[in-house]
Amino acid sequence: MNDDEVPPWEPEAAPRPMVHSPFNDLPKVRLKIERKTNHPWVFQKMVEKPAVKVPNGAIVDVIERGGSWVGRGIYNSHSRISLRILTAKPDEAVDAAFFTDRIGTAIKLRRDVLKLDEVTDAYRVVHSEADGLSGLVVDRFNDLIVIEYFSAGMFKQRGAIQEALLRHFPESRFYYFAEEHVGKQESFDCRPPAPPAPTTITEHGLKFRVQPGSKHKTGFFVDQRENRKFLGSFCGGKRVLDICCNSGGFSVYAKAQGGAGEVIGIDLDETVLELAKQNAKLNRAEVRYIQSDLFPWLRDAIPNGERFDVVILDPAKMTRDRDDVMTALRKYADMNRLAMQVVAPGGIILTCSCTGLVSEADYMEMLRRASWQAGRQLQIFRISGAASDHPYFVHVPEGRYLKAVFARVF
């Protein structure tokens, strides 16, 4: 929902009292609208061009159309998201102490509430908007902290961010990066250091080798942790197919923890398949990995009578562009239709989408169509998402991106 959109059931906001910021030296950026939401994003079309040039990534005070102070955050005239509001407290500076406090609060959730240190040494430490740090993602992999920047402003604060993280992970190595499309959208040049030496993490008693610095995000998909564990619970003695297996997370769980009889993993990327083989070896799991595009492999497998008791389909993100959502849904439909046809009657499929622009409702409708085209019926028994270290605020639904659907296939 954009800042200028107010649901018809929402009462009109009461007049906002005038608030004067004590940080009078900060640049001021004015909105063309009255702010009627607490979503941290303000889009370019809602922001007036400052009379005096404000550097991209600068910390600014935000003033709404009526003249009231409404928040403080990061400004970027080059970005579609021109403002990322970080605080609505007039007396809260966005400085080193701010990052120490926000990052400390984020870590308390993972360590004190979720108690993740008891089950793993790999988890999402900071999840952008959900931890009050829009434009910043931090993952921990044992002794390695990986920082991903999504905004020029967060990149400018990298010194304060790393210092705050060192308070909690004092013996850690650091690696940082920004994806190329983000650097272009936000107009900043993040040149990552040389890729770090790999590290080995432990998750629910299993070990995985992690290598950040490749094209596969921060190095390992910690968001699927709980889904991997749940999937393993019904793989005993079964024949399992892991499509888009990446570095072998699901396939290793199926064999090493779930006790599957046979496990096959397929992926097009040679690099991740080599990592998957290392991960299988680390856990003494016998998994057969095949390099192939999923479409020709499945089209050959169906008439050959290949059938599996458990199938996992977890492809990469399909699009970042709202205009391409329908194309993405068609691709999802094609691959799910094929995947369903190699599931043995009464077998289980786990089908996933990490494309945030595809809603759960649209994904479920796609599955309905795909199952009809495949001549199969889906009995859904669980719909899940990202692990609990990937929280989201109810007013920022964009943080809920992962769909993981468990179903029996008849």
Q: Same CATH topology for 1-91 and 223-409?
A: no
**CATH number of the 96-186 domain:** 3.30.750.80
Phi–psi pair at 366, nearest 5 degrees: -60, -45
Phi–psi pair at 15, nearest 5 degrees: -55, 135
3-state helix vs strand vs coil in the chain, percent to 5 = 30, 25, 40
Phi–psi pair at 337, nearest 5 degrees: -60, -45
Which fold is adopted by the domain 223-409? Rossmann fold (3.40.50)
Helices (H), 175-314: 180-186, 225-232, 249-252, 270-282, 294-301
Lowest mean pLDDT among 20-34, 36-50, 84-98: 20-34
Look up residue 162 and give its amino acid: Q
> Rounded distance, CA 338 to CA 354, Å?
19
Q: Where are the domains of the chain?
A: 1-91, 96-186, 223-409
The pTM assigned to this predicted structure is 0.92
Whole-angstrom Cα Rg for the chain:
23
> Rounded distance, CA 291 to CA 273, Å?
7
CATH label, 1-91, candidates 2.30.130.10, 2.30.110.10, 3.90.1150.10, 2.40.37.10: 2.30.130.10
Lowest mean pLDDT among 144-148, 195-199, 228-232: 195-199
Q: What is the pLDDT of residues 250-293, one digit of tens each?
A: 999 999 999 999 999 999 999 999 999 999 999 999 999 999 99
